[in-house]
Amino acid sequence: MTDELQRWFAERVQADLGIELSDAQLNQYETYYRLLVEWNEKMNLTGITERGAVYEKHFYDSLTLGVLPEAVSARSMADIGAGAGFPSIPFKIAFPQLEVTIVDSLAKRIRFLQTVVDELKLNSAVLVHGRAEDIGRLGDHRDRYDLVTARAVARLAGLNELCLPFVKSEGHFVAMKGTDHAVELEESARSIRLLNAKLRYTRSLQLPLEQSERQLIVIGKLGKTPKEYPRKAGIPLKQPLI
């Protein structure tokens, strides 16, 4: 059974983002919403708990990745600093064949995500507890993913050093940003170059009801990550490559 909000969500996602969702998938979003609100009472996962707002600002916002050909054609994805699971869990629900790896440095968020993965019966979803600077040096994760994402983790110049080491040659890093990304983009030019990548393009979108602006910044990886990156945990955000 789906209700008015779920039908609105399915219609918007289909019309704006070109993503078709079945009733089974809509039920998965609803279960995710319930788990989020339930666990949020015990730990800090999100400031947004009103049902319509979660569907728009977390689920729809995560699914805006669907407008990017680089994202929908990806077979593997790593989400760095996913927190309560954004954008990777909503995107994985919509594209169940995608192999998803989630990295977060906070153990209790990883425990929450394990419950979500189990309850939603998501296959090929790997949860890694650790700092991106350390995990990005491991052979299983370095230069390995078609698509790497990060939403609301850090400013772009520092974020590039956390995320680009995970991207395979010819793969893409998508930074999900709000307004005011122009200065960030300017100050990120050096980090992009040093990490053997290239800015491809930026795509602007708006949330359907709230109408606030979103930017998807698409950065392509040109080859392997130079061996000096990422630097030791803590350094990339404290001393970004500006």
Where on the chain is the footprint of ligand SAM (CB under 6 A)?
Answer: 81-84, 86, 103-106, 109, 131-133, 151-153, 162
**Minimum distance from CB of 104 to ligand SAM (Å)?**
5
HSE-up (13 A, CA, CB side) for residue 153 = 32
The secondary structure of 1-25 as a DSSP string is ---HHHHHHHHHHHHHH-----HHH
Looking up tokens 């279960």 gives: 31
Closer by beta carbon to ligand SAM, 138 or else 222: 138
Closer by beta carbon to ligand SAM, 19 or else 162: 162
Closer by beta carbon to ligand SAM, 14 or else 49: 49
- Residue 72, Cβ neighbours under 10 Å: how many? 17
**Minimum distance from CB of 199 to ligand SAM (Å)?**
21
**Minimum distance from CB of 106 to ligand SAM (Å)?**
4
Cβ 206 vs Cβ 213: under 8 Å = yes
Closer by beta carbon to ligand SAM, 20 or else 148: 148
**Minimum distance from CB of 191 to ligand SAM (Å)?**
15
Burial class of residue 67 in the structure, from the number of CB atoms within 10 Å of its CB (0-12 exposed, 13-18 middle, 19+ buried):
middle
